């Protein structure tokens, strides 16, 4: 009996093709090799449709041309529609007719909707109707300045099956505050499992409790994963935040002025911690790590660093300092320390972490911005 060709094993073939998920040309080539290759290639290709021009310089999925291309393909090949999990509607100049055609597709497995466009009343009403027809569990929303009332109305129309909310905020949606003052209809509250907050604006919060009204009607009292970009101190003082339930905590500090020491000891159920900061390593970051206590069930710490141009040559000292800090942590369950390299790959980086290597917990890997997002979503999908 002839030995079986590894590529005849469908499960192995699916995993191999899955490694090409971010290479559209490779997936297109795989889809034409054999019938057994076609389905896994198409599943990855249409999971989050993202088509580019031949010169690979223009992202068509975020333009009228790209979205109309997606619409044409799915219309003429309806068997591909159930493969679509994520759709992105992102462009300031996106035409209403384009959004209308995408919303006319009968998606049956759509998991994530990413919106980054002005929510004028006609577009908002169209999307509200669309949300009522799809099995959406994750909503990603960019809140533009000048459209706060429209965003407030849109959030109030979200279906109750949404469990993961990702907000990028340019300006505080003050209209939600007005709604909050008139009382909350408890029947409309949507319980979240995860929240991602990316603060892009210059407004300030009057108090941490303002966050309750900003994300109304979403309720965070049961969340198990939190990712914060900006206003970290305010978030961790938020009384509605169930710190004892949170298992995954992701803190991004791209601007050093945003950072102050945070006490992580109340996170009694924390399993994974990721900290991304702008180099060099500062005292607040060190003190935040040292606030972890031995009884916390933390098994993974991920550190990601952004380098300023003039600091890039000093990375070796920074790595050794970080290694020293991590070696002082007395966490009973810590098994993995990941150093996440974001801009380029340094194969010699492990030389600067002898203490972590000696404890058998050091690993390093490269993650692009797309892979960071994908990793976060993989983690919260497992909640």
* 165 CB-near residues (< 8 Å, 6+ apart): 138, 139, 141, 192, 194, 195, 196, 215, 218
Q: Which residue has the tokens 């060099």?
A: 280
d(CA 92, CA 140): 16
The lowest-confidence range among 84-88, 178-182, 250-254, 350-354 is 178-182
43-96 confidence digits (pLDDT tens): 888 888 865 433 333 444 456 777 888 889 899 999 999 999 888 887 666 788
Q: Which of 307, 289, 381, 294 is nearest to 349 (CA)?
A: 307
Helices 64-76 and 96-103: angle between axes, nearest 10 degrees? 30
Per-residue pLDDT reduced to its tens digit, 144-172 = 766 777 777 888 888 888 999 998 876 65
- Nearest by Cα to 105 from 142, 141, 71: 71
- The Cα diameter of the chain in Å comes to 76
């Amino acid at each position: 009996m002839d030995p079986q060709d590894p590529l005849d094993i469908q499960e192995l073939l699916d995993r191999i093709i899955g490694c090409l998920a971010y290479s559209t040309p490779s997936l297109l080539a795989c889809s034409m090799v054999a019938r057994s290759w076609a389905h896994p290639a198409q599943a990855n290709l249409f999971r989050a449709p993202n088509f580019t021009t031949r010169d690979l310089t223009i992202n068509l999925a975020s333009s009228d041309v790209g979205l109309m291309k997606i619409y044409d393909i799915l219309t003429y090949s309806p068997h591909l529609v159930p493969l679509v999990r994520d759709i992105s509607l992102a462009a300031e100049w996106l035409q209403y007719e384009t959004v209308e055609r995408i919303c006319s597709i009968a998606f049956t497995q759509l998991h994530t909707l990413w919106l980054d466009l002005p929510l004028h009343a006609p577009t908002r009403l169209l999307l509200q109707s669309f949300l009522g027809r799809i099995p959406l569990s994750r909503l990603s929303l960019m809140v533009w300045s000048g459209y706060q009332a429209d965003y407030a109305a849109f959030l109030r129309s979200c279906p109750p099956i949404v469990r993961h909310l990702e907000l990028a905020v340019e300006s505080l949606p003050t209209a939600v505050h007005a709604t909050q003052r008139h009382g909350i209809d408890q029947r409309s509250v949507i319980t979240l499992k995860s929240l991602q907050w990316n603060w892009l604006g210059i407004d300030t919060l009057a108090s941490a409790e303002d966050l309750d009204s900003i994300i109304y009607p979403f309720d965070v009292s049961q969340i198990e994963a939190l990712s914060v970009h900006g206003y970290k101190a305010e978030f961790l003082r938020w009384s509605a935040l169930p710190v004892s339930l949170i298992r995954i905590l992701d803190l991004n500090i791209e601007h050093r002025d945003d950072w102050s020491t945070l006490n992580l000891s109340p996170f009694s159920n924390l399993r994974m911690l990721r900290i991304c900061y702008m180099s060099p390593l500062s005292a607040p970051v060190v003190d935040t790590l040292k606030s972890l206590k031995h009884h916390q069930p933390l098994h993974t710490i991920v550190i990601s660093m952004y380098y300023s141009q003039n600091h890039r040559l000093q990375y070796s000292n920074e790595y050794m300092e970080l290694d020293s800090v991590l070696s002082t942590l007395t966490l009973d369950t810590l098994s993995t320390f990941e150093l996440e390299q974001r801009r380029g790959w340094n194969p010699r980086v492990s030389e600067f972490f002898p203490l972590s290597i000696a404890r058998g917990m050091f690993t390093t890997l490269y993650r692009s911005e797309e892979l960071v997002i994908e990793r976060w979503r993989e983690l919260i999908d497992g909640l």
